Chain A
Amino acid sequence: MDMIHNLMLGMSVAFSLQNLLYAFVGCMVGTLIGVLPGIGPVATIAMLLPITFHLPPTAALIMLAGIYYGAAYGGSTTSILVNLPGESSSVVTCIDGYQMARKGRAGAALSISALGSFFAGTVGTLIIVMFAEPLTRMAQKFGPSDYCSLMALGLVAAVVLASGSVLKAIAMVFLGLLFGLVGTDVNTGAQRFTFDIPELSDGIDFAPIAMGLFGIAEIVINLERKMTRSGAIKVDSLWPTREETRRAIPAALRGTALGAILGVLPGGGPTLAAFSSYTLEKKISKTPREFGKGAVEGVAAPESANNAAAQTSFIPMLTLGIPSNAVMALMVGAMIIQGIQPGPEVMTKKPDLFWGMIASMWIGNLMLVIINLPMIGMWVKLLTVPYRFLAPAILLFCCIGAYSLQNSVFHVEQVAIFGVLGYIFSRLGCEGAPFLLGLVLGPQMEEYFRRAMLLSRGDASVFVTRPISLGLLITTAVLLVLMALPSLRKAREEAFQEEEG
Chain B
Amino acid sequence: MNRFLSKDFLSGLMFIAFGLGALYFGRNLAPGTTVRMGPGYVPHMLSYIMCVLGFIIALIAVVRGSEPVEVPRLRPIAMVTLGIIVFSLLFERTGMFPALVALILIASAGGTEFKLVEVLGNIVVLTILCILVFKIGLSMNITVLNGVW
A-to-B contact residues, CB < 8 Å = 51, 54, 165, 167-168, 170-171, 174-175, 177-178, 181, 185, 187-188, 190, 192-193, 195, 216, 219-220, 223-224, 226, 387-389, 391-393, 395-396, 398-400, 403-404, 407, 409, 412-413, 415-416, 419-420, 423-424, 427-430, 446, 449-450, 453-454, 457-458, 460
Contact = CB atoms under 8 A, between A and B. Distances in A.
Given A391-B107, A430-B11, A178 B47 contact: yes
Nearest to A449: B42
A413 B88 CA distance: 7
A195 B118 contact: no
Given A388-B112, A427-B7, 13 more contacts: A168-B57, A178-B22, A178-B43, A193-B43, A220-B77, A223-B110, A223-B111, A226-B112, A393-B129, A399-B88, A409-B89, A409-B92, A458-B33
8 contacts: A171-B50, A178-B47, A178-B50, A187-B39, A190-B39, A216-B80, A428-B10, A446-B42
B112 A167 contact: no
Nearest to B127: A396
Contacts of B69: 427-428
B72 A427 contact: yes
Contacts of B41: 450
For chain B, what secondary structure do more than half of its interface residues adopt (helix, strand, loop), or is it mixed?
helix
Nearest to B70: A427
B14 interface: yes
B25 to A, nearest CB: 6
Nearest to A170: B53
Nearest to A185: B39
Q: Kindly name the residue among A387, A391, A413, A457 whose own CB sees the greatest number of chain B CB atoms within 10 A.
A: A391
B138 interface: yes
Interface string B103-142: 1100110111100001100100010011000100010111
Interface of B: 7-8, 10-11, 14-15, 18, 22, 25-26, 29-30, 33-43, 46-47, 49-50, 53-54, 56-57, 60, 67, 69-70, 72-73, 76-77, 80-81, 83-85, 87-89, 91-92, 96, 99-100, 103-104, 107-108, 110-113, 118-119, 122, 126, 129-130, 134, 138, 140-142
A395 B84 contact: yes
Contacts of B22: 178, 193
B57 A453 contact: no
Contact of B50 (A165, A175, A454): A175
Contacts of A395: 80, 83-84, 103, 107
Contacts of B89: 409
Contacts of B47: 178
Given A223-B80, A395-B80, A195 B25 contact: yes
B138 A51 contact: yes
Nearest to B42: A446
